[in-house]
Structure 1
Amino acid sequence: MITYLIIDDEHIAHGIIKRYCDMMPNMQLMKNCYDALEAIEYLNTHTVDLIFLDLNMPKLKGFDFLKTLASPPKVIVTTAYQEFALEGYELNIVDYLLKPFSFERFLKAVNKATVNTTPNPTIINTQTTETHSSKIFLRSNKKYTQVAVDTILFLESAGNYVKVVTKDSTITVRDKITDVLEKLPQKDFIQVHKSFAVAKNHIDSIEGNRIIIQGTTVPIGQTYKSNIHTLLQ
């Protein structure tokens, strides 16, 4: 479960963000804050995984609030002001959403924020990775399916669609393969062909110009051989 806080002085913004989050079963709202001082008071005694932060608020501006936090959670900025984007990324925000934003754009930001979120991180087993508990949402046939990242075997581009092949199923999404890869941890996936990308951990063998993953053969494109050489070093 991803816990989150909404910090915005507009009630309408709270309603939109909550409605979008309610469409995702792993999101839990902890508190609605209508100014930064209210958020500081809450965070003094509570923790959350994610903050949706407006910038132009009374009493204390969004980025000024962010600078007061010693160990801030992940932050997605939601604002009508594009000119502050650079400052936001210097403060290590996850994404910068310009109002009004669509659900698809919102979903992409949340995927970026949660793909490497590990519940209960106080004990870390060196034999595991963050992505073992990561999940993303994929849109297919007008519905959103939640997929565990570590179950994805490979991606296959087919025209304007991408097949996301997991251990248990195949989900077809209307997207480019590069856009789907952006939602996934870069360290765990590698593009090996203009139409294929594979999960490194699921590669069974590499034979000449092909990769074998659970009995499926994936071709290696000529221009992507350097990626394979890097993988084998």
Structure 2
Amino acid sequence: MTYLIIDDERIAHEIIKGYCDKMPNMQLIKHCYDALEALEYLREQSVDLIFLDINMPKLKGFEFLKTLTTPPKVIVTTAYQEYALEGYTLNVVDYLLKPFSFERFITAIQKVKIENISAKTEAKKTEDNTESIFIYSDKKHIQINSNTILYIEAAGNYVKLVTTTKTHLIREKISEILKKLPTDKFMQVHKSYAVSKQHISIVEGNRIKIEDYSIPIGKSYKEKVKQLLL
């Protein structure tokens, strides 16, 4: 976990770094002695966690926090208890009142880790939800994992959806099928064909090779395929 210390007192930096050094996988990125210095750094770089003092010259801690569009996790370290409520409205993970013990510091770090795990779990759920689609074929609704789809082919009033194990015939337009699939994983390469990017093995001339299948590349889609290769 990379972290930044923002505090105008050197002793505060020493205490926080000393505590972090006792814990595994904590990497100090920068000491900042005022919020403007941190703001300049964060314009170009990112960190996982900020230890933030509130009462600093030039720019107060919470005013600094309000300027960040996508702030990292924040643990407030301050001698002023009365600002705790405002801190939590800004999604501060924890509020350490100076002087704080190592045990209390560990509790704050654990809260950050729990929030990180929860965020990853939610992201994984969202990803999983977009990996499967339902199609209607052979008079039944079938759930298909999008990762198993090799390519899609328009065939008259139907669409052939070819997976790693089976070919499904669907009475639907190819454009409607593509709307159901993750846009970052599938690409239309011909007016009648769309392919799974992850299953492409060879691109040669005007053809795409996916397993034993050869997919044509339409003239108007060549630039899109070229961008994929770049």
The alignment partner of 1:69 has SS state of coil
**Matches of 1:110 and 1:63, distance apart in 2:** 20
Mapping 1:1-233, distance limit 5 Å: 2-117=1-116, 125-126=124-125
Partners of 2:115 and 2:81 in 1: CA distance: 26
> Deviation digits for residues 7-50 of structure 1, max 9, x if unmatched?
00000000000000000111000000000000001100111110
Q: Once the two structures are superposed, what CA deviation does each residue of 1:127-170 show, in whole Å capped at 9, x if it has no partner?
A: 999xxxxxxxxxxxxxxxxxxxxxxxxxxxxxxxxxxxxxxxxx
Q: What is the aligned length?
A: 126
Identity of aligned residues (%): 71
Shift of 1:95: 0.5
Cα distance, 1:114 vs structure 2:
1.6
User: CA separation in 2, counterparts of 1:23 and 1:128?
Assistant: 36
Question: Which entry has the higher C-alpha Rg, 1 or 2?
Answer: 2
RMSD across aligned positions (CA): 2.2
Amino acid of the residue matched to residue 16 of structure 2?
Answer: I
In structure 1, distance between residues paired with 2:94 and 2:65: 14
- Determine the C-alpha separation between the residues in 2 that align with 1:75 and 1:44: 17
The CA distance in 2 between the partners of 1:69 and 1:126, in whole Å, is 27
Cα distance in 2 for residues equivalent to 1:105 and 1:20: 11
1:138 maps to: none
- Structure 2 stretches of 5 or more lacking a match? 129-230
- Cα gap change, 1:94/1:125 in structure 2, threshold over 3 Å: closer, same or farther? closer
Unaligned runs of 5+ in 1: 130-233
CA shift for structure 1 position 103: 0.2
Cα distance per residue 1:176-228 (max 9 Å; x no partner): xxxxxxxxxxxxxxxxxxxxxxxxxxxxxxxxxxxxxxxxxxxxxxxxxxxxx
Q: Which of the two has greater helix per residue?
A: 2
